[in-house]
């Protein structure tokens, strides 16, 4: 089946969209949890069997790794507020804080594994599945975030 656009036209459209993304994208920070195994410094090594005694002492810790990715950020114009009962303090308002980000495939790999995303010194969590964006093939992914209260 013949295509309506030549390959040169398709590449021109994709490069124009890449230029738009590069122009309006800004740095956001993605936090990914990483498990780190820690060993106490006083383990007894057994050279005969090539292993340590008391292997139950090995523990793992969670470490947050901060990554910087490029994304186009769009804040919703009408942010609703709701009344929150914060355990004794009444009539506190909390913003719903909806944000839409659009990232490239490299950024999407990090967003899939992240626990938190920082935009303008505010923490957000992923609130939706990704939507594939691109006229000819998937170039970008759109994800909605909500503020972590």
Which residues, other chains included, contact 112 with Cβ-Cβ below 8 Å and sequence gap of 6+? none
Cα torsion for 128, 22, 113, 34, to the nearest 10°?
A: -150
Signed CA dihedral, 110, 112, 115, 118: sign only: positive
Between 100 and 59, residue with greater pLDDT: 100
Least confident residue range of 18-32, 34-48, 117-131: 34-48
| pTM higher than 0.75 | no
End-to-end CA distance of the chain: 52
Neighbours of 93 (CB within 10 A): 9
pLDDT, mean of residues 39-50:
59
For the ranges 83-87, 94-98, 106-110, the one whose mean pLDDT is highest: 106-110
What Cα–Cα distance (Å) separates residue 64 from each residue in 26, 59, 67? 22, 17, 10
Q: Is 104 helix (H, G, I), strand (E, B) or coil?
A: strand
| Distance of alpha carbon 100 from alpha carbon 75, whole angstroms | 6
Least confident residue range of 9-13, 19-23, 70-74, 91-95: 91-95
Helix intervals (H) in 25-143: 105-113
| Distance of alpha carbon 73 from alpha carbon 69, whole angstroms | 12
């Amino acid at each position: 089946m013949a295509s309506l656009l030549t390959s040169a036209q398709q590449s021109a459209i994709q490069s124009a969209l890449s230029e738009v993304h590069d122009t309006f994208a800004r740095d956001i920070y993605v936090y990914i949890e990483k498990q780190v195994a820690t060993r106490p410094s006083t383990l007894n090594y057994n050279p005969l069997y090539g292993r340590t005694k008391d292997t139950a002492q090995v523990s793992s810790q969670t470490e947050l790794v901060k990554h910087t990715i490029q994304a186009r950020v769009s804040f919703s114009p009408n942010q609703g507020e709701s009344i929150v009962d914060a355990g004794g303090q009444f009539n506190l308002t909390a913003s719903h804080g909806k944000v839409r980000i659009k990232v490239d495939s490299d950024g999407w790999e990090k967003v899939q594994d992240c626990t938190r995303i920082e935009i303008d010194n505010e923490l957000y969590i992923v609130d939706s599945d990704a939507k594939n964006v691109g006229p000819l093939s998937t170039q970008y992914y759109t994800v909605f975030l909500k503020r972590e209260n």
